[in-house]
Structure 1
């Protein structure tokens, strides 16, 4: 029987632990807070997925070594900007032969490294063992066992297949790919585009406006991804347009909701105070913008979102900046 360790007890980490458990895998979760660990051992995670029972095959611990003992698969589901520090704390507990799965969707501040690159560098893990899971993965819906599909990406097709087989309960369909760059970048950039869509909705704009942002946001993602060596096909699949649509349009999306509040006139600090959390796109937009600049890629939507989030620009000013750009061929 396959055994998995899941580091992180947030909503997506917990939902994916349930996917693994429902697929027949024994799962041990690691959490920093004893209160959450106790909840999971009692059969639920009320802090992040209230009222949703967890499968019987899941236990939790605050001991990293206990979590990874005998694990064939290790899943990392911590906030992206804390990954390097977490690996410094418990990276030594990672088994030398396990597949290391990243659920994180961000680009590291300062280094502009993707999460798989941070895992390889800070965790000492060879790239052939690093797997990225990405797609339209709203945690609450998956925890409720609503049908969903996703992409399991690894440069080693055998490892990707092994993780996909472990992630295949009746309600969750994984597809494999070797395009780690495309899957990972899509997951990071869609959070920033969702902030823009949320802002548009908060400003009272309609579906034409939001569809335009989503489509042009996909173009920005594709341009940047191809500059980094990604397969263009990835952006038209589940990890690309699939995840983008879900994150931009669902009220369950933290990034869309955060942008909605910004569009209604709240500051970043006010949104954080009300929601008690910061959306991933808020943290990663600067590093993604820097990554684009480093590779000479034009990303006007990402640039405007970063200006609102970090430079204090008003959401309503973004519309004029985008609409007033020089006309050009859509393909460019």
Structure 2
């Protein structure tokens, strides 16, 4: 896969898709960047910048943007970077475009709200037969686009595929690490967005750094329960797709989910907080889907349940926080 330059399709011209397009160009591949917005596509081609999502950050001039999925037919590798709730529809359209053996790397983090399925499960249905991998980890798009050092997990059940992808995408500034646990990487990537909302609420409510640290730690326990119950690996939780991504997303205002939580904590309603977000707040969808998955496995996730109650069920924020603080004392551990 990496012996000669490839034509790589990056599907999704938001911040993360544009950043990944630049990553691919740094390893001398030909990149086709698809976006639905024709005006944005034209701007990327004319200005070599994504003014809607990454203003002021130059994109590689070799990137060719298009609003036609049919234009991606020559691709020998596809990075699917559309939001989780749009992935199925776009993938179904891609099924008639991509070659039957073209590997697909899933770069969106979330759980499909309607079916409660992970992105690999959705892709397996919409793009049957294609080799699949998951790219996850602590990544802010603007930093990746600027070429700042970044490490990610590249997970697949096909170790040879993952190894080839590492060589294809890896560079001095973008360092993929192999994983054979795509399920764990996916669940961690979805749940961390829910926990980021909770940490944002803590910040917006000015509950202190101690509370945020406790929330991250106990949130990791909740994430671990669900990953292990679904058959994922404990090592994933301690790696880039687990602790690494959780720490980044729960501590920085660059995170849409964290910023959404901050607005809620300051007293904004859900609609008002969503209106100020630049992009999809995926944690809102993942909260309900995570709890449905957890319920089927009899996994307790009180922090995620509290977030879901506030953002999806109209629960009073102050009462919900009081409910969490009033829970019985327990021992520390994954089974606590």
Q: TM-score range by the shorter chain?
A: over 0.9
Q: Which residue of 1 aligns with 2:164?
A: 162
Alpha carbons 1:20, 1:169 under 8 Å: kept: no
1:29 paired with 2:33, answer yes
Count of aligned residue pairs for this structure pair: 329
- Cα RMSD of the aligned pairs, angstroms, is 1.2
1:52 correspondence with 2:33: no
Identify the range of structure 1 (159-168 vs 202-211) with the bigger mean alpha-carbon deviation: 159-168
Query: CA separation in 1, counterparts of 2:94 and 2:105?
Result: 15
Q: After the TM superposition, list the runs of 4 or more consecutive aligned residues in structure 1 that deviate by more than 6 angstroms.
A: none
Q: TM-score, normalised by structure 2?
A: 0.95
Residue 118 (1) aligns with residue 119 (2) = no
2:101 is equivalent to residue 108 of structure 1: no
The residue correspondences of 1:1-332 to structure 2 (distance < 5 A) are: 1-42=5-46, 43-69=48-74, 71-126=75-130, 129-275=131-277, 277-331=279-333, 332=336
The one-character-per-residue Cα deviations of 1:248-269 (angstroms, maximum 9, x if unpaired) are: 1011000000000011111111
State the TM-score, normalized to the length of structure 1.
0.96
| TM-superposed deviation, 1:143 | 0.9
* Runs of at least 5 residues in structure 1 that lack an aligned partner in the other structure: none
Cα offset, 1:133, TM superposition = 0.3
Query: What are the superposed Cα offsets for residues 274-293 of structure 1, whole Å, 9 maximum, x if unpaired?
Result: 33644110122111111111
More displaced, 84-93 or 51-60? 84-93
**Secondary structure in 2 aligned to 1:149?**
strand
Gaps of 5+ in 2: none
Which secondary structure does the structure 1 equivalent of 2:96 belong to? Answer: helix
Find the aligned partners of 2:106 and 2:189 in 1 and give their Cα distance.
11
Distance in structure 2 (CA, Å) of the matches to 1:52 and 1:199: 30
3-state secondary structure, aligned to 2:154: strand
8 A Cα contact 2:256 2:277, kept in partner: no
